[in-house]
Structure 1
Amino acid sequence: MNVYVLLAAAIAAEVTGTVSLKYTEGFTKPLPTAVVAVAYGAAFYLLARVLTLGMPVGVVYAIWSAAGVALVAVIGALFLGERMNLTMVAGLALVIGGVLLLELGGDR
C-alpha cells in the first residue's frame, strides 16, 4: 500500500479522535470515549506502519502533526462554532509551509 495513503489514514484517525474528545465530557460518555480510544489506536498503528515502510520519522511526524492541527482547526471553525481569525490562518499556513519545506528538502 502507498505510504501516503497510510499516512492520510493515520491523520484522519487522529483528527477523528481529537474532535471526538470534545464530546466525551471528561470521558463520562461511553460512545465518544470509545471512538477516541479506537481512533487514536488506529492512528498510532497506521503511523507505525508508515515508519516501517521507510519514511523518515521527522517527515512523518511533521506531516501528521501539521495536517492534524490544520484539519482540527478548520473543523472547529466550520462545524463546532470555534473562532478563527486571519492571524490563526496565517499561522496554519506557516506550519503547512514548514512541512512542505521539510518534505522538499528530504533526500530523494
Structure 2
Amino acid sequence: MCPIDLPVASNTYDEAEFTSLRKTMHKQELVHLHHLLVEITQSFADGGAVPDEVWNEYEALHTNAYSVHAPKGQHEEAVLLLANTLGEELAQPTEEQSVMSAQ
C-alpha cells in the first residue's frame, strides 16, 4: 500500500487545469517545471517504468523544455501531458507493493 494516496491521473485534461496553471505560474516557472518533468520522465523511461510511447505524444506537441520562446500554452500542455503520464505510472501498484499487501 502506498503511504501517500495519490489521485489517479488521466491523459485527458480539461480547460480548468489549463486555467489553473495560467493563473498561478509565470512562464519562467512553467518552463523550469517542464524541464524537470522531462528529466524525471526520461529517468522513469530509462528504467522501464514509463513506456517509450510517451515521447511520441510529447513530440507531437512541437515544443520542448528548451523552447523558451514558445507560447506559455504550449508549455502548459506539455507539463500536463508529462505530469499525467507520471501520475498514471506512479498510481499503478508495483511488484513490491503487491508482495507487501499479500503478507
TM-score in terms of structure 1 length: 0.33
> How does the TM-score come out when normalised to structure 2?
0.34
Higher relative contact order (CA 8 A, sep 6+): 2
